[in-house]
Chain A
Amino acid sequence: AQTVTQSQPEMSVQEAETVTLSCTYDTSENNYYLFWYKQPPSRQMILVIRQEAYKQQNATENRFSVNFQKAAKSFSLKISDSQLGDTAMYFCAFMKGANAGNMLTFGGGTRLMVKP
């Protein structure tokens, strides 16, 4: 079974600064996908970024980027130029390779507060 660990229950950052959220995972799979989801106070789960394990290049989406270290089983999220709207819970999630039900295993979450 896979496990996903987010070791930072809460973090805060000043507006316009950069923050990094940590995530580690444990798996024996070689083919898998990793995700970061954002959950604002509205409770809606919003996909932030995804990474395919077979790709060495780190994924980026505008102000969001990841540092994927496959050997260390680490998948951190960097948010640059933080905005007040980035305040939310952030969940790291793991998915086994295709044709395995595509189920997501979530970490416990990190609550991020962006301060003005």
Chain B
Amino acid sequence: NAGVTQTPKFRILKIGQSMTLQCTQDMNHNYMYWYRQDPGMGLKLIYYSVGAGITDKGEVPNGYNVSRSTTEDFPLRLELAAPSQTSVYFCASSEGGASSTDTQYFGPGTRLTVL
């Protein structure tokens, strides 16, 4: 059981370039999330999805886009990369809904540097 997987693990972008961070989960979870973690800080929510075809903004959505065409995949798109987007990006998933055992499971992260 792979859980939540993310690719790539590392990436260096030039200012103005675009890229997609991939996230896949094999737990049949309804909810998926993208967070960013700046150095020495906690995680901040970028976007989340409560099911295929449904996405919504989190705390820091500017400069990013997401889509959720399948239950398993939740890619994060960076358009026109800026140095302020240098961060570690985490994808997470959870069962979702009214379950009191809803716990988020995190992927290993993608370290992105924009120069």
- Residue numbers of A with Cβ under 8 A of B are 4, 33, 35, 42-47, 50, 52, 91, 93, 95, 98-99, 101-109
Contact = CB atoms under 8 A, between A and B. Distances in A.
A98 B90 contact: no
Contacts of B41: 108-109
B108 A43 contact: yes
B43 to A, nearest CB: 5
A85 to B, nearest CB: 18
Contacts, number: 61
Q: How large is the interface on B (under 10, 10 to 19, 20 to 34, 35 or more residues)?
A: 20 to 34
A33 B109 CA distance: 24
Contacts of A105: 45
A52 B102 CA distance: 11
23 contacts: A42-B108, A44-B106, A44-B108, A45-B90, A46-B106, A47-B103, A50-B103, A52-B100, A98-B97, A98-B102, A99-B97, A101-B48, A102-B31, A102-B94, A103-B45, A103-B58, A105-B45, A106-B43, A106-B44, A107-B42, A108-B42, A109-B41, A109-B42
B88 A43 contact: yes
B33 interface: yes
Contacts of B96: 102
A86 B4 CA distance: 23
Contacts of A33: 100, 102
A45 B103 contact: no
A18 B75 CA distance: 41
B104 interface: yes
A104 B103 CA distance: 10
A43 B109 contact: yes
Interface in B57-114: 58, 88, 90, 92, 94, 96-100, 102-106, 108-109
